[in-house]
Every structure is written in structure tokens, then in C-alpha cells.
Amino acid sequence: MSRAASPGLFATPPPPAAIEISSARVNAVALSSHGSVTITGHSIEPLPAGLVTPALNAINVHDQSALAGAIFRPRQQSTKPEDVQQSVSIAASDRVVIYGQFQATGNWIFGDSKAGSLHKVLAVCEGKLVTVLNLKIDDNIITRDSGGVVTSAPYNGKALFQYRAGLPTETYFSGLASFFPEWTSAHR
């Protein structure tokens, strides 16, 4: 009788880091794999124009010292995974009730793209919101005009951010229905 080897016995462990070098920047990601792979740090280092050029059969790194300096330059402390919030699309999720002040993202309840624009609806919590202190995109506090169009850099005019406070009198997002007919007044 022979015993089968465990599936992970000959598997190659994931690398502790990944580096991408493009003509414009170096992207680096640090990984940890204790049961599942987790991003533990990241860095983006811009490169001067002409330092790296795409080529299959020619020299494409024109200053090896400068590129090595960009890759190995000391970094400031990167964002810790527990400081990052992400919204994810899942089939069913817990209902969240917020008491007091809390920084929250939401669960995707709708997401689709049309004409090059992403449209996303998040359910942040159940019940009524008394006030919203800040709205953020990519950890940047944003400002909006009265219609919800973002007016702060780097998203100025490129994003629309609307929310409902959870009142019984509030309506659905009619602007979304103009792009997606399946989003109806039943989705308030």
C-alpha cells in the first residue's frame, strides 16, 4: 500500500515579493503567505523618461544604476493591510449596524460598466445615518458639488459620489436607471 504525497509537498511557495518594471515606473508588492496570500506592502516609484524602453531584441535599460536605485531605494512605512478597506462583491453578506463614529466601506449590491464608466452601488449599513463626516476615494478625502460630482483632485469631474441617509422618504438612484433599466424604483 502506498501513501499519496500531500498536494503541497512539491508545490512551489509564492514569492515574497513581485516587481514590475515599465517605461514609466517600478511597481513592487510584498507578499506574506500564511495559509493565504496577503499583500503586506506596496510601492510605486516613478522612472525618468527614457530610462527603460520596451524592446524584445535590443537594450532596454539605459542606466542600470538609476534603475537599481529606484528598485532598492529605502521606502517610507507602507500602508498596513488592517488600515485598508475594500468593497467586494459577494452573493450574501452580514447586515451592518453602525453606532457612533465609524469609517466604513460597503458591500457591492450593484456594479456594472457602460460607455467606459464604472457604476457601483454599495450598502454601507442598515438603518439611518445621522451624518457623514468625510467621503473618501482611494484614501483621499473628496469634496463634491450639490449634484455629487467630485470637485477635488485627482478625481475632479471624473467621479460622481451620491449617498442616501436611509430615510423612508428617499428615492432610488434615478441616474443609474438611465444607464441600466434593470435598476428600478424598487431599488431604493
Query: Whole-angstrom Cα distance, residue 17 to residue 36?
Result: 15
Query: Tens digits of per-residue pLDDT, 8-63?
Result: 556 666 677 888 888 888 888 777 766 666 777 777 888 888 998 888 888 888 88
Give the Cα separation of 57 and 124 in Å (integer).
51
Among 106, 84, 108, smallest CA distance to 96 is for 106
Nine cell digits for residue 21: 518594471
Is residue 144 helix, strand or coil?
Answer: strand
Average pLDDT on 97-123 reads 80
Mean pLDDT within 102-116: 79
pLDDT digits (tens, 9 = 90+) for 127-173: 888 888 888 888 788 999 999 999 998 888 888 888 888 888 888 88
Q: Residue ranges of the domains in the chain? A: 17-83
93 band by pLDDT with thresholds 50, 70 and 90 = low
Q: How far apart are CA 161 and CA 122, in angstroms?
A: 11
**Beta partners for residue 25, in sequence order:** 46
Measure the CA–CA gap between 134 and 159, rounded to whole angstroms: 16
Residue 61 CA, chain-centre distance (Å), reads 31
In the chain, what is the straight-line distance between the N-terminal and C-terminal CA atoms, in Å? Answer: 63
